[in-house]
Structure formats: C-alpha cells, structure tokens
Amino acid sequence: MSETIKIQFRSADDTTHDVEATIGKSVMEAAVMANVPGIEAECGGCCSCATCHVFSLTQWGEPDEDEDAMLDETASPRRDQSRLSCQIIVRAEMDGAVFVLPEQQ
C-alpha cells in the first residue's frame, strides 16, 4: 500500500471534504478519487485545461512556466494562492493541508 495523508478541500460555500491523498500522486487525483465536487480535471492532469484550479492556503512550491500561463486563464479569477491541483504532488509534510475551491472551473 502506498502511504497516504489527509488533506482538506473547502468548497466556495464552506463545505469541507477531508480526503485521503496518496504521497507521490497529485492533489487533483486525491480530489477526483474522493469525488470532491468542483474539481473537473478534464485533461486528466497534464496541465492543459485549467479546470482543477485551487487556492492553496499554504504555498507548496511555485507554479512552473506552463502552470503560470494556464492560471492566467482560469474560470474564477486568479489570486496569489492560485494553483492547478494536478501540478501539486502530495508530500508527507502536506498532512492537514487545506485547498479552497473556486466558484467556477
């Protein structure tokens, strides 16, 4: 079994979803596998569709150039905390991390 941690998604209406996230997989995959509403992930995680937008309450690294470009075109306006969750790889120290979902993808 792969090692998992707990992370939380918080919907725009403040509903919270505590989900298991597998270390080494993406935050987006954790949301999809837990059926968290509000993460579309239409492209399956290859940084092509900008439909897995989250606001990350803790900064887990900087977006790379591609992600940065995609974030300029998200359906809900970009903020400082904006990330594409398919590009955040789950690490052990993220246990308890909170990701807020935008109103629109």
Partner 1 sequence: MSSATVHSGGVVIVGASHGGVQAAAALRQAGWLDAITLISDEDALPYHRPPLSKAFLTATGDDNLMPIKPWAFYETGGISLQLGKRVTSIDAARKTVTFGDETLSYDKLVLATGAAARKLPLPDFTNLHYLRDLSDARRLRPALHAAAKLVVIGGGFIGLEVAATAAKLGKSVTVLEAQSRLLARALPPAVSDFVTQMHRNAKSRVLFNAVVKTVEGTGQTACAVVLEDGRTFPAGLVVIGVGSLPNTELAASAGLTLAEGGILVDGHMRSSNPDIYAIGDCAACHNPFSDQVARLESVQNAVDQAKAAARHITGSDEPFSAVPWFWSDQFDSKIQMAGLPFDGATEILRGDPATGAFSVLHLEDGVLRAAYSINRAADHMAARKLITSGQLLDTGCAGNPDQPLKDCLASAPAGPVGNAST
Contact footprint for partner 1 (CB under 8 A): 29, 32-35, 42-50, 65-66, 68-70, 72-73
Q: How far is the CB of 69 from partner 1 (least distance, A)?
A: 3
> Which residue, 64 or 93, has its beta carbon nearer to partner 1?
64
Rounded to the nearest angstrom, the gap between the alpha carbon of residue 101 and the centroid of all alpha carbons in its chain is 8
Are 21 and 36 in contact by the 8 Å Cβ rule? The answer is: no
Q: How far is the CB of 6 from partner 1 (least distance, A)?
A: 17
> Which residue, 18 or 66, has its beta carbon nearer to partner 1?
66
Are 104 and 75 in contact by the 8 Å Cβ rule? The answer is: yes
With tokens 């904006």, the residue in question is 82
